[in-house]
Structure 1
Amino acid sequence: MRCQLPFLKKVFPSRLTLATGLALACALLAACSQRQETPPDQAAVSVAPVTVPVCGQPVSYDRVPQRAVTHGINITEMFLALGLADRLVGYGGLRDIQRLPPAMQAQLARVPDLSNQNMNLETLLNAQPDFVFSGWSYGFRDGQITPQQLQELGIASYVLTESCIRKVARERVSLQDTFDDLLHLGRIFRIDAQAQALVNGQRAELEQIAQALQGMARQPSVFLYDSGTDIPVTAGRYAMPHAMIEAAGGRNIFADLPSSWTRGNWEDVIERNPDWIVIVNNDRPTPDGKKQFLLNKPELAHLTAIRERNFVLLDFAAATPGPRNVAGVRTLAHSLHPERVAAPEPDTSLR
């Protein structure tokens, strides 16, 4: 890797103080120096290049990454589900490691937590990564850290497919997006067979659910509630929960919103009268706190979901692209169609 400073004008906004800029520059130079001294057997391994699509554009990877950083709980889970824990030198976006399946908690015990909020460039560079896996609005953000800036630093990256709607037009989101991400990571890390086996198992489970739901007479309407009191944060048609609701035999009441995770409004929730409410558990506040807020909101009292107490809880890591998506679909399908779909069994593959 060649370490140069001209890119700093692009990476560091002009509003940064001189002291902050100098501190970040020193961190970069220290990281570069250490990386240049890394023994060949610990550096990224050169192999025949592979090319995978990233947000609709072909990206070539001519090395097997050895020092990876992930940002986002679902993104970290995806990485660990592929057996790549030994490649991690840092992770971020996890407020509480206890939110992970037990086996994954153990795998992360030795890995530094780089940030529990947004990515921080100085901390990231100090970890000396050769690969970063995140998504737009998960960790990548204009004006902060972007794949282009990492490329200028000689650091490879991969962008979560679902998040690409923030940058490029897409026709739809589907569970295939998650499968593609797993397979693309398999190619990048040259563990294709392992990735394919994981995807095959999840596809088989999804197909079983689809067969059980064939011939449904009705699709219950579903409102996904993530957060917000004055204005509800929900899932538009480009967010993974939209695809999950459809796969579970339901209908997203905000399918008309041409966005991913976005703001809805209470007036439309009231008018569209959902049969079910999916509460996303992201600890902001607790799921029970969200449920009580909805039950105590007077204008929602007549809603079918409120009157019949039709609530489904989905963990944030299940509602965003990752290895828990198919299990999340089964949870939804069992709630919406208990006569057709059995309750999910514990996923021992993630434990």
Structure 2
Amino acid sequence: MLCLNSHWRVRAAVFLATLLALGGAARAERAERARPVVIDVCGKPVTYTAVPQRAVTHDSNITEMFLFLGLGPKLVGYSGIAGDKELSPAYRAALAGVPDLSRKSMNLESMLGVRADFVFAGWNYGFRAGGVTPELLARYAIDSYVLRESCIHVQKRERVSLVDGVADMRNLARIFDVEERNADRLGAIETRVHALAERMRGLEKRPRVFVFDSGQRLPVTVGRFGMPHAMIEAAGGENIFSDIESNWPTGNWEDVIARNPEWIIIVDYGQPDAQGKIDFLLGKRELSQVSAIRNRRFFVMRYAQATPGPGNVDMAEALARKLHPERFVGAQK
């Protein structure tokens, strides 16, 4: 009888301890979710009162940011990733089984259908006037976050930085309460950015670079507020369209000829593919005397690498090796 009573006392104690632990966890979760997080979003303070549980992302680079932070389990849908904007192989498995809500534009009905409580997108990266906007989502009690690079469409900025994508990911980590688990990974990216800046310090010559995104009659390129501009600067180059105060503007072929780029960055997505774009440029007779064309100096980036995302520093380092190989003599790749 004594043994039996002792057995039940032990079981009761374990049960009580479990209840207390669960209650403590529940209280901690309620306290955490009750703690508001205030983030600057395109120059305005936005308050997030709860950790989102059902998120939707738009575009491949934005989805890669989200998955880089280990937030795949919170993803209930994505959009804007057509076959020509494929993810890096490192992220494809994490996206398997997640509903593709729309191949092109954002779709409010589909987001409501998966009961989204958070949307990560950007201006011209899903959000657009007259379509889905953060204000529209708020009417349905859906929180949102806007990609920093895209804020140039709604606020003035002085420059774009190679660590803008890191700032986005730090903000997301705060919103989703995963700062601690991502601190080392994000810090490592910033360390590499600073190391590249030191390696490029004191350059006497910066090669001229033209970014060719798409277009035949007129070229879509990168202005001073697009992420490739920041990558070109960090790599020791000069963006020939840095005088255009936008992120992804339309340029003209006359200026390409006059400014005579020494390198051309090809953004690999859409049709034609990267080689098709190179062939188009090589076959354009008026460009035949452009330095980059004569010397066949092309550098290819996938769409998700050319737009803000976790792979930006990889591309900046690789571009720097092309523009300034003398600065990497003896350095490990």
- TM class by shorter chain equals 0.7 to 0.9
Q: Which amino acid aligns with 1:323?
A: P
The reply on whether 1:50 has 2:59 as its aligned counterpart is no
* Partner Cα separation in structure 2 for residue 251 and residue 62 of structure 1: 43
Gaps of 5+ in 2: 1-29
Contact 2:64–2:309 (CA under 8 A) maintained in structure 1: yes
The reply on whether 1:122 has 2:101 as its aligned counterpart is no
Contact 1:221–1:276 (CA under 8 A) maintained in structure 2: yes
For the residue of structure 2 that corresponds to 1:60, the secondary structure is strand
Aligned partner of 2:129 in structure 1 is: 142
Q: CA deviation at 1:341?
A: 3.4
Contact 1:334–1:342 (CA under 8 A) maintained in structure 2: no
For the residue of structure 2 that corresponds to 1:261, the secondary structure is coil
Kindly indicate which of the two structures has a greater share of residues assigned to helix. 2
Q: CA deviation at 1:342?
A: 7.2
Contact 1:235–1:261 (CA under 8 A) maintained in structure 2: yes
Kindly name which structure, 1 or 2, has the bigger radius of gyration based on alpha carbons.
2
Q: Which amino acid aligns with 1:56?
A: G
* Identity in percent: 51
Aligned partner of 1:131 in structure 2 is: 118
Aligned partner of 2:16 in structure 1 is: none
Contact 1:182–1:195 (CA under 8 A) maintained in structure 2: no
Distance 1:309 1:257, change over 3 A: same
Q: How many residues align?
A: 304
Aligned partner of 1:158 in structure 2 is: 145
Gaps of 5+ in 1: 1-42, 347-351
Q: Which amino acid aligns with 1:262?
A: P
For the residue of structure 2 that corresponds to 1:135, the secondary structure is strand
For the residue of structure 2 that corresponds to 1:128, the secondary structure is coil
Q: CA deviation at 1:297?
A: 0.5
Contact 2:106–2:127 (CA under 8 A) maintained in structure 1: yes
Q: Which amino acid aligns with 2:149?
A: E
Q: Which among 243, 260, 265 is matched to residue 273 of structure 1? A: 260
TM-score w.r.t. the length of structure 2 is 0.88
Aligned partner of 2:26 in structure 1 is: none
Contact 2:165–2:309 (CA under 8 A) maintained in structure 1: yes
Aligned partner of 1:189 in structure 2 is: 176
The reply on whether 1:172 has 2:172 as its aligned counterpart is no
TM-score w.r.t. the length of structure 1 is 0.83
Q: CA deviation at 1:345?
A: 8.6
For the residue of structure 1 that corresponds to 2:49, the secondary structure is strand
Aligned partner of 1:206 in structure 2 is: 193
Q: Which amino acid aligns with 2:71?
A: L
The reply on whether 1:326 has 2:326 as its aligned counterpart is no
Q: CA deviation at 1:343?
A: 11
Aligned partner of 1:231 in structure 2 is: 218
Cα RMSD (Å): 2.0
Q: CA deviation at 1:344?
A: 11
Distance 1:278 1:97, change over 3 A: closer
Q: CA deviation at 1:103?
A: 3.5
Per-residue CA distance 1:192-223 (angstroms, 9 max, x = gap): 12332222111111122222212212000000
Q: Which among 79, 92, 95 is matched to residue 108 of structure 1? A: 95
* Partner Cα separation in structure 2 for residue 97 and residue 195 of structure 1: 29
